[in-house]
Amino acid sequence: MRPGLLLVNLGSPASPQTADVKAYLSRFLSDPSVIEMPPAIWQPLLHGLILPLRAWRSATFYRDSWLAAGSPLIVRSQQIRDLVQADLPTWDVRLAMTYGKPAIGKTLKQMAAAGCPQVIVLPLFPQYTQSTHQSILIQAETSGVPMTFIKHFYDEPDYLQLLADQVQASYDQHNYDRIIFSYHSIPTAMVRHGDPYLQECLATTKAVLKRLPDLPADHVITAFQSKFGPMPWLKPYLKNELMTLVEKGHRNVLIVTPSFVVDCLETIEEDYVQNYQTFRASGGNRFDLVPPMNDNPRFSQFLADLATRWWEAQVHEA
């Protein structure tokens, strides 16, 4: 019996062309795990107004960030997969996407056919939220392949230490007035309905600071980015926080993005371009980002160790 590990990330358009971006956004924004609004109301709004206006604009952002090898999110995720496979040479390690290719269900069936009767499914999202994890779980269960689902890893000591080390390494480079832990926002309605995401984000910030006793806790802010649509999402919003900091005389900031383990549109375009421009236009000086995990070998080793522990526990129970 060969152990199997399926890493899962969000996905990306097939190309940065408007038609492919529109198809990707249509699938993503039609997922009831992401948009809880009744389809009878949401779908006409999505296809009649949002996609026609948003697809071409998003396509320009994708074109600006696209790599020679493809989507940054896909390329960086593939690098993680390859590193984890090297760390687990006797395993079958594969990568799938919630939206787009490779598909989760198809990949799980291929792994089962290749000799993996039980697969560990590990979403590349440290903090759990319905809007990312629920669709992964549904697709994995629908495949019919026996699997074990790792819900989150925000509280894993090795992950937290790695994140803390990355923050410290960046913080030591310059004198920063404030450090902002910026997480992808979600609708506040999800939190009211019991989603643990906000609690896990706050716990991540707190646990990292505990590992950095020399970092002034009163200089650290938790914020949220990437809001979409008219409904209330978790606040404070990063862009507003940046402008407020400048007004208070804090013109040198370091941004940490714990909910993004690879560089993607949100870090490359939203942060390095849009939020940077907002900050500078408001009078800010230094705007730096702590790099995501990307191809850090310590992160891939952490994922390999995490999967191994889950596998050994599973075998022991059997």
Shortest CA distance to 96 belongs to which of 147, 58, 56?
147
Cα–Cα distance measured from residue 176 to residue 170, given in angstroms and rounded to the nearest whole number: 10
**Cis check: omega of the bond before 102, within 30 degrees of 0:** yes
Beta strands in the chain (DSSP E): 4-11, 92-99, 119-123, 147-149, 178-184, 220-225, 252-256, 286-289
Strand order in the sheet with 147-149: 92-99, 4-11, 119-123, 147-149
Q: Is 133 annotated as a binding residue?
A: no
Q: How far apart are CA 124 and CA 104, in angstroms?
A: 13
Residues 237 and 222: their CA atoms lie apart, in Å, by 9
Distances (CA, A) of 201 to 6, 75, 133, 270, 292: 24, 26, 15, 20, 16
CA–CA separation, 13 and 24 (whole Å): 5
Place of tokens 């009831």: 32
Beta-bridge partners for 287 = 253
The label of the residue with tokens 């408007």 reads 18
With b for 16 or more beta-carbon neighbours within 10 A and e for fewer, the 181-218 pattern comes to: bbbbbbbeebbeeebbbbebbeebbebbbebbeebeee
State the distance between the two ends of the chain, measured CA to CA, in whole angstroms: 13
Residues 6+ apart with CB under 8 A from 229: 35, 50
266 has binding-site annotation: yes
Q: Which residues make up each annotated binding site for Fe(2+)?
A: 184, 266
Q: Which residues are annotated as a binding site?
A: 184, 266
